[in-house]
Structures are given as C-alpha cells and as structure tokens.
Amino acid sequence: MTLNLTSFSLYAAIFTIYALKCFGITGSYSFGIILFILFNCVLFKSNVFNYNKFILSLVFVLLFIVVHSFIGVKISDVSFDYVRFLTHYIGFLFIVVFLYLTGSHGNRIIFALNNCLVLFFYSMPIILIVAKFNIMPMHLFDVNYSKPMFPFQEPSHYFNFLTLCSIVYFKNNGWVLPLLLYPISLYLYPSATGLFGFILLLCAIALNSRVKYGLLLFIIPCLLLIFILMFNLLGSYYTDRLFFWSTNNLSALVYLQGFESAMLGFIESYGVGVGLGQMSSIVKQTETAEIILSITNNIYFNVFSGSFVLSQLVTEFGLLGIAFILLILLLVSRSRDAIRSRDPKVWMPPIFILSSFIELFVRGYGFFTPIMLLCYLGVFLSISKRRKLILT
C-alpha cells in the first residue's frame, strides 16, 4: 500500500462523516457528500468539465426528480414534507456532481480509495479495542447510544464498513487477517448485520477463487460452522432478529416495517413511488409502526430511511427503485471475471456494489452514506466502462 496525501485525505473525510454521525449530528451523511466533492475539487484542479453536457445532465436529473415527486405525492395523497424533499434534492444534486468529477478521473480515485480502505482495515482492530474497553466514553459528547464504537454510532455501522474494508484488504493482501478479525468482532459485538457482512466476505473470497465450484465448496462449510458456533453462544440474540413471526424485538419489527412501507407505498402510488423524501408519511400508516409505537411509548423508528435502502427506494421511487436494484443485481451477477482481476480499477467497482448489499437489503441509513456513495460510484464506473466511456 502506497499511502499518499490523496489516500489520507479520503480517509480523513470518511472518518469525519462517521464521527459527525456518532456525535449526534444527524445531517452528517449529507454533509459527507460535500466533503467528497470538496475533495474532488481540490484533487482535480484541471478543467474536467464538459460544461454543456454536464449542465444538460444536471438539469435533466433535477427536473425529473421534481416532476416525479410531484406526481407521486398527488397520486398517493401523502402530506408533502418540503424540508425533507429539499435536503434530499440538494443531496442528489451533490451526487451528480460527485459522480461527474470522480468519473472524469476514475482510475486515480480508484487507486486512492484502494489505499484508503486498506488503511481503514488496519484501523478496525484499534476501533474495536477502544470500543470494548470504553476508552472513549461517548456520554462525554452528549449522546446516548447503547453500544457506540467511535467513530461509528453502533456496531451495525462498524460491520457495514468492516465488510467493505475486509474485501478490499483481502484483494490486496490475502484472506487470513479478514477471516481472523471478522469472527472476533462478531464475538465481541454480536450483530445480525455483521453476520450477513461476513457472508458477503466469504462470497467475495469464493468469487475470487479459480476453482469451478469454489463458491459452494468454500461457503457452505464455513456458514455451517459459523451458524453452529453463533447460535450455541448467542442463540437468542440471533433468533429474535432472524425469525420475525410473533416477535417484540425492535430490530425485527423495524425491518418488517420497512418491507410493509415498500409494499404500501408501491400500491398507493400505483408503482410511481410517493416522491423523494416522502417516506415517513407511508411508514406511519403501516401496521408494524403501530406495534412499535405500542411498545416504545409512542416513539417512531426509522420513518425516514425504512431501516434499509431497498425499502426507501421502492417506497419513494416505485418501479424506478426496483429497476435500480435489478441493475445492481445484474452487474454483480456478471462481475466474477472482474472480481478475479488483479487490477484495482477492474475489481473495485463491483466490490463497491457487492459491499452495499448490507445497506440495500439488511440494515441501511439512507441514500447518502459513504457506502451508498461508493455503490453509486461502482454502478457509474461499471456502466461507463461497458460503454467504453471511461477513463484515464
């Protein structure tokens, strides 16, 4: 790993995003987009814009979002949340700028991210030790989380990012340390999200294998061993979260609420979606939300994010959200040769997409997290390369 100013700047930017969230600054994920864009603007001082093409694309995307959201709100008859729409709207504006700037220097940003994420992997044991021994007590910062892992707000945030960093480290330096650190982390901080992340890590290792049936030969025995150990040691923790029927576990209920919101929003908007930032109106209509209210003294949970990104995509964008998910699955299904490559600019885009599966399908925090930004980047670079538009 060659650590340079570019890689360290990215490391500092991502660390800051998570730390702001951990300190209770809830808009930090949106703020993170600004950090990424500032990083791009400083790094790439040359004139990278084709202004006419860029402005045309930006106007089209932003106009489409306005029209789509207006139609979705009218069809589904939800109350329009102007503040939420505006903040998300600005977020999508920043995403377009971020992708355009990054795409203009795709290979340079790929190598910088590669080094940055390897550096983060080396930081994870330190984060684990600091959290376990309470070296940085979060109550000093006027936040009250049950299991904070600075700079992460909770273990699921840690495992989301650990999955990406472990896969990138594995591609650079081998699988021994990731397969050592991940189970230790799961033992110290049990997490259903982390368990899914570990499965993704095993899938990446298997996809990288050149053995014809390496995927099944490697993953099935490992999964059996993991599940036997985890359920023997911490059975009730996982069964409460993985078996949804007749449960009062908040994690399971919030997940069910996300699925119910997606179905209800899709039906009420006739597949259009209820509009950008308008998810909360649908979530509050779900039966699961009523159950959550009854056991939490009238407190709503995850009404703006749905608890995983698929829920928010389908609720707010309907068929377009489903199309985006199908595109992601298609890109991953065709990515084995790319993942087996030794060239980071070839294997990193599909790894970005694969690593986002936790936030997409299991436990996510909205459209603008670092993981989702890298997912959009992976999709953008993958499509651009297939169309031979990229990149120097």
Tell whether the model's pLDDT for residue 103 goes beyond 70.
no
User: What 8-state DSSP symbol labels residue 361?
Assistant: H
Banded model confidence at residue 390, pLDDT cuts 50, 70, 90: very low
Is the Cβ–Cβ distance between 360 and 305 less than 8 Å? no
34-43, 123-132, 144-153, 156-165: which has the minimum mean pLDDT? Answer: 34-43
At residue 256, the pLDDT reads: 85
Q: Which residues contact 90 (CB under 8 A, 6 or more apart)?
A: 30
Please indicate whether residue 49 or residue 260 has the higher confidence score (pLDDT): 260
pLDDT tens digits, one per residue of 344-355: 889 999 999 999
CA–CA separation, 350 vs 384, rounded Å?
13
Banded model confidence at residue 144, pLDDT cuts 50, 70, 90: low
At residue 392, the pLDDT reads: 39
Enclosing H/E stretch for 52: helix 51-76
Banded model confidence at residue 53, pLDDT cuts 50, 70, 90: low
CA–CA separation, 302 vs 128, rounded Å?
26
Residue 170 tokens, joined:
């594995």
68-86 residues labelled b (16+ CB within 10 A) or e (exposed): bbeebbebbebebbeebbe
CA–CA separation, 353 vs 155, rounded Å?
21
Three-state SS string across 67-129, please?
HHHHHHHHHHCCCCCHHHHHHHHHHHHHHHHHHHHHHHCHHHHHHHHHHHHHHHHHHHHHHHH
At residue 42, the pLDDT reads: 58
Please indicate whether residue 369 or residue 385 has the higher confidence score (pLDDT): 369
At residue 347, the pLDDT reads: 93
Q: Which residue has the tokens 């029927």?
A: 245
Mean pLDDT of all residues in 123-151: 76
Mean pLDDT of all residues in 113-142: 83
At residue 6, the pLDDT reads: 75
At residue 290, the pLDDT reads: 82
Over the chain, what is the mean pLDDT?
80
Q: Which residues contact 139 (CB under 8 A, 6 or more apart)?
A: none
Banded model confidence at residue 325, pLDDT cuts 50, 70, 90: very high
At 149, phi and psi to the nearest 5? -135, 75
Tell whether the model's pLDDT for residue 111 goes beyond 70.
yes
Banded model confidence at residue 322, pLDDT cuts 50, 70, 90: very high
Banded model confidence at residue 289, pLDDT cuts 50, 70, 90: confident
Please indicate whether residue 321 or residue 13 has the higher confidence score (pLDDT): 321
Please indicate whether residue 380 or residue 224 has the higher confidence score (pLDDT): 380
Of all residues in the chain, the percent with pLDDT exceeding 90 is 23
At residue 139, the pLDDT reads: 55
At residue 44, the pLDDT reads: 56
Tell whether the model's pLDDT for residue 240 goes beyond 80.
no
Mean pLDDT of all residues in 166-179: 92
